[in-house]
Structures are given as C-alpha cells and as structure tokens.
Amino acid sequence: MHVIATAGHVDHGKSTLVRALTGIDPDRLAEEKERGLTIDLGFAWVALPSGAEVSFVDVPGHVRFLRNMLAGVGGVDACVFVVAAPEGWKPQSEEHLRILELLGHHHGIIVLTKVGVVDDELRELALLDIEEHVEGTFLEGAEIVEVDALSGHGLDELRAALDRLVERTPTAVDVDRPRLWVDRSFSATGSGTVVTGTLAGGSLDVDDALIVEPGGTEVRIRAIQSRKEVVDRVEPGSRAACNLVGVARTDIGRGDVLVRPGQWWTTATFDASLQVLDSLDHPVSRRGAYHVYLGTAEHRGALRVLGVEALEPGDRGFVRIHLPVALPLTPGDRFLLRETGRDETVGGGEVLDVDPVLPAARATPDRSIERVVAERGEVEAETLSLLVGERVEPTIGRWVLAPEAEAAARERVRAAVDEAGPLGLDLARLDELDRAVLDLLDGIEIDGGLARPAGLVDPLADHPYPPMLAAAPFSPPPPDGVDRGELRELIRRGDVVESDGQYYAPSAIAEATRRIRGLLAAQPDGVTVAEIRDELGTTRKHVLPLLAHLDGSGATRRREDRRIAGPRLDQLADG
Ligand SMILES: Nc1nc2c(ncn2[C@@H]2O[C@H](COP(=O)(O)OP(=O)(O)O)[C@@H](O)[C@H]2O)c(=O)[nH]1
Ligand SMILES: [Mg+2]
C-alpha cells in the first residue's frame, strides 16, 4: 500500500497524468474543472501491473496554492515529479523539489510530460535541464520517464517505473500508533462527519475510540472507506476516509489530527533542526513572522535560534518553535518553515524534542534518549516512551533514571535507612521510586515493613512490654519504665494498642470483641458498661478506654447507655 504525491510547476500536466493513469479526475472542484487549474488536493488510485495498489495525492502547482501542496505531501513517502518538455524547469519545479527535500522525501521518479509537442532537440535539452537541477538531491539518478498523457505515449513505461518505485519504497511502518492528519472534511448525507487523510504509524478500525487534536475531542469511527470501498480496517500507508461520531463537520478540518488517546505527547513547543535554504537572501533570526507546516497543519510559529544569533542561508542549525496550539508530535516529524510577509520558504527540518525542559540558551537538542533522561534525572518510562516516540522499558520501578540521578537516589535511600538504625525505616514513608531503589541496595534487610541495615537486631523484637500486656489482657499494667520512643514505635507497629492513656495487647482487643459479640448474641438490644466490665472481669478504669477503642474501630456503637453491634463487629471478631 503506497501513497504517491505529484509535484511540479503549474500546467506541466500533473493532473492530466494522474487522470490518464487512474481514470479518475483529481480536479474534483467545479472551479478547478472550469479553470483547468488544480486549486486543492486531488485523490485517485489504481492497481499497477504488478498488482500493487497505489493512491495518488495530486497537488496544485500554482504558487498561490502552495499551502495546499504542503498539506498533500506531508506523510507521503514517494513522489512523481513532473516537468513539461516544452517549458522545462520552472520556479515551482525548484520550490517543490526543495520542499520535498526539506520534508525528508527519499523516493521518486521524474516524468517528462507533453513530449508529443516538442522535437527531439527540445526534449534532449529538457532532460539535461532536469538532470542539472536535481543534482545533489534525492532525485539525482532517479528514473526519467517520457510521457505524453494525451496520446498515451509512454504510459506503459510509466506504470512499470511506478512498480519499481513502489518496490523500492519501504512500506509504511506499523508501530501500533496511528496518526491521521486530516486533509479534508465534509459531511456525507445521512452519516455525518467524514475526514480523509493519509494514515501513518498504525491501523484504524471501525469502532475505534480516538481523539481529535488540537482540543482532545473524543470521537468514534463509525465507518471507514479506502478508495471509495467500505472496509473494517485501514492499514498505515493508505488513504483513509473515516466517518466520525462525536464531532461536527464544522469542528474538524485540515490540520487537525486523529490519534488514539494516551499514545501521544501533545505539545505547542518543540526543538528541531533547521536546514536553511541556500537561496534565501537573508539570515534566519528571531525577527520575522513564520508559518510552520507540520503534517497537514499550518500554524503561525514563533522562532528562537538556538546556540547562535542567526542562521545564514545554507546553514543547518537548531531552533525552538512555539505554536499557538498543542499537536501530537514525535521526534522525527518533519516540518517546513515559510516566512509570512515575504511568502517564501525559509527552510525545514526535523522535530528533535517535543518537550524541551532546558531554557533555550542551554538547549542542545538531538534525538538521543539519554539526553531526554539526563535533562530530567528521572522520568517515568511511560512518559519517556511518549517523549521519544518508541517503547522504552523502565530500569527502576516504573522509572528510567540518569546515572547521576540513580547514584543520588541510592545514596539518599541508604542514608535514610542508616539514620533509622536498628528501629528500622518504615517503608510506608518512602515514595514509590525510593522503595524501588531500596530493592536494589545490598546490605539492607526488610522485615515487617521495616528496612534496616543488615545484621542490626531489632531492639524491640524481644521487648518485655507486649507480653506483659498480653498476660493481663483486661487489667494491663501501665508502661512504667518503658522508653517513650520505644513505646511510640511499639504502638506504631501495632504491638501495643493505646486508648485514652491506657495500653492493651492486640490480642486483648480481639478477645474483648469476641466476648462482647457473645453478650450481644443474647441481648441484641445492647449491653451496659457494667455488664461488659463483669464479663471481662475488670474495672471501669480499664473498660472505658477499651470501649472507646472498639467504638472507634466500628466493633461497637453507643446507643444511650448501652453498647450495640457496630458495623464491623463480625469482621473484627473473626479477624
Ligand atoms: N499535449 C499534451 N498536453 C498535456 C499533457 N499533459 C497535460 N497537458 C495539457 O496541459 C494543461 C495543463 O495540464 P494539467 O494536468 O492541468 O497540469 P497541472 O497543473 O500540472 O495539473 C492541460 O491543458 C492539459 O491538457 C501531455 O502530456 N501532452
Ligand atoms: Mg493540476
């Protein structure tokens, strides 16, 4: 499955060629047909002799409609570059070639059209002209097919050449991360909003839940067509027309993007490389109003050159670009920059960082994952995967840590354990990352939710107070002589239960709960404090704090001067 874009100067025969190959007129607007001029993108498709299916995106050549051309060639992987023999190389031949270069096109063939109306000499001249102009570009050495679309001369050779082009153009990658830059939207009678685009990155299925960016509107695919046929699924590298539920026709259009929720980092600011065109007659600095072309989108952009004051014509450098809206971008995305006032192409480049964290004065963008991690110290692997556009596995817990950050985290956690000493460090006090770091450290023992340096004995392990409490469950002795810090820790661990200044063994609480349940089985309307006191064989002094605790835990509840069953009585008595 391949999508091929046309390119070349206006009137050189692009649309005629597409029509001759496919039988479909790419000039679909009434105004286009009337004027014999392509204004907006046209779409057509055909099966080649090999059986390979190709779709064409036919672009306008006229300079006034360059923005439409730009929306058509983004996301397309191959081109048919058209030059008319009688006219030869023209300004938009040059501009289109520059644009394709800047957008990272690698594959194409050249078609010399209208050969029926020139003599051999002019034809030879046109060929030389072309060869000279494509020197040093991705079209250097590309096949040149001579065609006359009106007479049909050369069309079979062209079909064979297209087969060879398709053969050597890599098939679209499928990383299960579809992105559809919308190039057209319309409403279909009876079925609502339809958007079309060239699908990249993954497939789309009927019933998929997607979001529209910018804005994040949630939509669902009701139906899909590819080449006017109803399908359940479209593969990357195909043209797709999606009938959407959840968005009005007027709320979606060219430049919007359909993606799956949660799969993309959306950003209004990115760092990028910028190749400045040789032909520009002034340096690129911060001054100037720019238009940024990304996918099918066109946005105003504010620019900041990184590292140097300005980039001279022909220079390659780095820029930070601010857009008025956030888009789902990924490193490797190509963009084109035009200067609004002068209406000229300035250059283009590759998105390198979709979430720059360093101030522009210190940014040195590239596509390395290590840099993204180093600039953050620690980053969740999920987030990192979105930032770099590929799956990255976590190295510690859910995170990826820069080497210095990992060393610092190890030191921090070890220091905390050392400081807690023999009493141990409560794991609940560590955040999730530090708990994961703790697992990596040697020489630390974890026991009962506490981490302590290996070999250190828990001074509370054989503390005498809990057994003393257990031995006298309902007349427990006061903590005379017990160190306050140790007592606090015993309570925190649950080895001792404190209530209103009295101390109990956990087993005493459980036993009291069971016995009260026994009493309540016989007297569901409630039992008095005195009855409970007698049952436990103790005094008011001991039973009141105990009951306060049971009320608090939900084992019992007060009703006037009685205790009745609390909501958690059974649970606590059985537990
Ligand atoms: N003789 C001849 N005329 C052509 C050929 N291709 C296109 N034309 C004519 O050139 C004009 C412009 O063609 P069109 O396809 O609209 O050019 P586009 O602007 O590049 O799409 C039309 O009048 C076509 O009939 C060709 O191969 N031979
Ligand atoms: Mg045309």
Residue nearest to atom 28 of ligand 1 (CA): 114
239-245 and 209-213 strand pairing: unpaired
All residues with CB under 5 Å from ion ligand 2 = 14-15, 38
Residue nearest to atom 11 of ligand 1 (CA): 11
In short, whether 149's Cβ falls inside 6 Å of ligand 1 is yes
Nearest atom (ligand 1) to Cα of 113: 27
Q: Which ligand is nearest to the CA of 60?
A: 2
In short, whether 113's Cβ falls inside 6 Å of ligand 1 is yes
Residue nearest to atom 2 of ligand 1 (CA): 114
Residue nearest to atom 3 of ligand 1 (CA): 114
Residue 186 structure tokens: 């319309």
Q: Identify whether the C-beta of residue 293 lies closer than 8 Å to the C-beta of residue 70.
A: yes
Question: Residue-wise pLDDT tens for the chain (575 aa)?
Answer: 789 999 999 999 999 999 999 999 999 888 888 888 888 899 999 999 999 999 999 999 888 888 888 888 877 889 999 999 999 999 999 999 999 999 999 999 999 999 999 999 999 999 999 999 999 999 999 999 999 999 999 999 999 999 999 999 888 889 999 999 999 999 887 778 999 999 999 999 999 999 999 999 999 999 999 988 899 999 998 999 999 999 999 999 999 999 999 999 999 999 999 999 999 999 998 877 899 999 999 999 999 999 999 999 999 999 999 999 999 999 999 999 999 888 889 999 999 999 999 999 999 999 999 999 999 999 999 999 999 999 999 999 999 999 999 999 999 999 998 888 877 888 888 899 999 999 889 888 888 788 888 877 777 888 999 999 999 999 999 999 999 988 998 998 889 999 999 999 999 999 999 999 999 999 999 999 999 999 999 999 999 999 999 999 999 999 988 999 999 999 998 87
Place of tokens 């609004």: 340
Compute the chain's Rg from CA coordinates.
Answer: 37
Residue 320 is predicted with a pLDDT of 97
Distance 63 CA to ligand 1 centre (A): 17
Residue 458 is predicted with a pLDDT of 74
Q: Where are the beta strands (DSSP E) in 277-381?
A: 290-294, 297-306, 316-329, 334-339, 344-353, 378-380
C-alpha to C-alpha distance for 42 and 298, rounded to whole angstroms = 19
CB atoms under 10 Å from CB of 194, counted, come to 20
Residue type, 402: A
C-alpha to C-alpha distance for 112 and 126, rounded to whole angstroms = 8
C-alpha to C-alpha distance for 434 and 461, rounded to whole angstroms = 26
C-alpha to C-alpha distance for 344 and 444, rounded to whole angstroms = 65
In short, whether 471's Cβ falls inside 6 Å of ligand 1 is no
Place of tokens 């830059």: 181
In short, whether 267's Cβ falls inside 6 Å of ligand 1 is no
Give the residue from 315, 311, 313, 295 showing the smallest Cα distance to 303: 311
Distance 423 CA to ligand 2 centre (A): 81
Distance 59 CA to ligand 2 centre (A): 6
Helix-then-strand count for the chain, H and E: 16, 31
In short, whether 101's Cβ falls inside 6 Å of ligand 1 is no
Q: Identify whether the C-beta of residue 389 lies closer than 8 Å to the C-beta of residue 333.
A: no
In short, whether 154's Cβ falls inside 6 Å of ligand 1 is no
